[in-house]
Amino acid sequence: MSKNDVETAYFRRTSRWKLLLVLLIVALVITVILSLNVGYAQIPFANILAIMSKQIPFLSGTVDPSLVLPMESAIILQIRLPRIIAGVVVGAALASSGVVYQGVFKNPMADSYVLGVSAGAAVGASFSILFGLGSVVFGLSLTQVAAFLGAVSAMFLVYNISRVGSRVPVTTLLLCGIAVNFFLFAVVGLMEVIAGDELHAIVFWLVGGFSNVLWRDIWAILPFVVVGIIAVYIYARDLNLMALGEETAQNLGVNIERSKLVLLVLASLITGAAVSVSGLIGFVGLMIPHLTRLVIGPDHRILLPASTITGAIFLVVCDDIARVVATPFASTLELPVGIITMLAGAPFFIMLFRRKKQSYAL
């Protein structure tokens, strides 16, 4: 193959990637707009458009807003929109950190939930709820900071226990993840017992959701998630080299151990930030990178951004389902979104494990 052919192939591939990303972004925007339509209150789509267009400077005035009730405007702008945006941010965070965990551990089962990172965040948050550490530092509540510290500690605990030499085999990783998860949930259980009337706060936190999320919660975590994902993207090439094997990576001049460390801290930072707003939401980080990889292949330069956007779409859709799926039983009944992702995720995990038995190539 001549240099020219390589360049042409590379150009074709990157333009295909760009097209894919544009399509995903369009799909995300459509999902967000359609999701504004999903909820208990029956608000005509024309009114939703009127409410939204009023927020966009050059569109305001194009629609007559006089037909819109203040209640409708409040529901769209202060209940549904922040909720949808929280879904986008949390979904993107969980999916992108899932890509990192799977890439660094070279392990298809790795995910913040399986690795105990989420449980670590839960321990941190429960601890802070129990001891009433409610104060705010840099716009983050101490509960959020504690969640992050718990996430990072749990991840390093599992990583160090399950490491055999420089490799982290699937079996040991899963077993250590399970052991650490049991231990951490026991710690949460212990705190629940002594929590008394703080019990509610801990229990609800363990079943994830973002129904009553505030704009200010979203602004507080957004920088961590955005900067975290961009920083991970810079390391996308290192993730590719890690997939080729550590020796190859070393030969190509990548300081593997340092890259791993940076990537794991970044992924835990992203996870901790997301979990601090939503509580525990399982399996997004496991499923989305796999689904994306099936479609576009293993190159992290496209896998990471594509998974990030797909994760955002997925969690917003799951939250839409959570809002309406129980309404046949009682018209105002909602489910926590964490239950929907778990219902979808557990069978997926089992399927993956069965395939893995017949040799799964990452």
Q: CB 29 → another protein: shortest distance, Å?
A: 22
Q: With respect to another protein, which residue has the nearer C-beta, 137 or 330?
A: 330
According to CB under 8 A, which one of 278, 292, 308, 341 is a site residue for another protein? 278
Contact call for residue 91 and another protein (CB under 8 A): no
According to CB under 8 A, which one of 20, 21, 37, 40 is a site residue for another protein? 40
Q: With respect to another protein, which residue has the nearer C-beta, 196 or 253?
A: 196
Nearest to 334 by CA among 344, 319, 345: 319
Contact call for residue 74 and another protein (CB under 8 A): yes
Q: With respect to another protein, which residue has the nearer C-beta, 36 or 104?
A: 36
d(CA 266, CA 257): 14
CA distances from 127 to 156, 163, 195 (A): 19, 28, 10
According to CB under 8 A, which one of 11, 45, 182, 204 is a site residue for another protein? 204
Q: CB 360 → another protein: shortest distance, Å?
A: 34
Contact 344, 287 (CB under 8 A): yes
Q: CB 300 → another protein: shortest distance, Å?
A: 32
Q: With respect to another protein, which residue has the nearer C-beta, 1 or 193?
A: 193
According to CB under 8 A, which one of 24, 32, 48, 82 is a site residue for another protein? 82
According to CB under 8 A, which one of 116, 209, 228, 311 is a site residue for another protein? 209
Q: CB 6 → another protein: shortest distance, Å?
A: 51
- Considering only 4-12, 17-25, 150-158, 191-199, which stretch makes contact with another protein by CB under 8 A? 191-199
- Considering only 146-154, 255-263, 265-273, 327-335, which stretch makes contact with another protein by CB under 8 A? 327-335
According to CB under 8 A, which one of 46, 190, 214, 230 is a site residue for another protein? 214
Contact call for residue 170 and another protein (CB under 8 A): no
Contact call for residue 45 and another protein (CB under 8 A): no
The terminus-to-terminus CA distance of the chain in angstroms comes to 27
Q: CB 43 → another protein: shortest distance, Å?
A: 9
For residue 191, which amino acid is it? M
Contact call for residue 213 and another protein (CB under 8 A): yes
Site for another protein in 329-358 (CB under 8 A): 329-336
Contact 294, 169 (CB under 8 A): no
- Considering only 53-61, 77-85, 222-230, 341-349, which stretch makes contact with another protein by CB under 8 A? 77-85
Residues that bind another protein (CB under 8 A): 39-41, 70-71, 74-75, 77-80, 82, 132, 196-198, 200-201, 204-205, 207-215, 217, 277-279, 323, 329-336
